Amino acid sequence: WDRNKHVIKKFEPPKHWKRFMSMDWGSAKPFSIGWWCIVPDEYDHGKDTQAENLHGERVILPRGAIVRYREWYGNKKDQRNPNTGLKLTAEEVAFGINSREKNEPKNEFGRPRISYRVLDPSAFRVDGGPSFAERMGKKPYYVHFRKADNARVSKKGAMGGWDTVRQRLKGDLEHRSMMYFMDNCTDAIRTLPMLQHDEINIEDVDTEGEDHAPDEIRYACMSRPFAPSNLNLP
């Protein structure tokens, strides 16, 4: 993690950029929702938008990079313990999502043009009634999710979630990041660098900490795996 490399000033993403959402469910603990866009072509300076780092220097966003342009972190801001959730219902969360997407570009049906949404698989569990995911997808909210890939570490050669996060942070062969955070995404910027290795399984993270935004970032990365190509191997 390098704040100077991975954090950029907030700007309005071009309307034609593909957008998606990732979410980690929480009630007593915070939930975390991130809105992302995908850079379709190498992008540095448009007529109406410009990507800049925190020092005001122009940043060239590489093709295929993902940019976190908005977030909603469901914790109680006025408490000393930021790891306390809002205890909202699924319907209240869905309403909050709808409210935050009012200015999103619209599709032909007048709905926000969010290509897909991935959600913590635990939110799909059915315990005597509709799951949280099903309740958010009902009328009048229509916030539909698919199950996120929750693979945390590598198994049998398959890339794990934390691997994908590290790879995007590390970037391409030119050492350009493949994941950026606009500076309004304060809780992701605050909590991702705080992650600690688990004492028993060092490939995983300690889940006792505030890992909600990082988990959700992991879901986003697993929905769009990245690995640099054309490596000059011996």
As beta bridge partners, residue 23 has: 33, 119
Distance CA 62, CA 97 (A): 29
Q: Taking the complete model, does pTM exceed 0.75, yes or no?
A: yes
pLDDT tens sequence for the chain (234 residues): 999 999 999 999 999 999 999 999 999 999 999 999 999 987 654 544 568 999 999 898 999 999 999 999 999 887 788 899 999 999 999 999 999 999 999 999 899 999 999 999 999 999 888 999 999 999 999 999 999 998 866 665 556 788 899 999 999 888 899 999 999 999 999 999 988 765 566 565 656 778 999 999 999 999 998 877 655 444
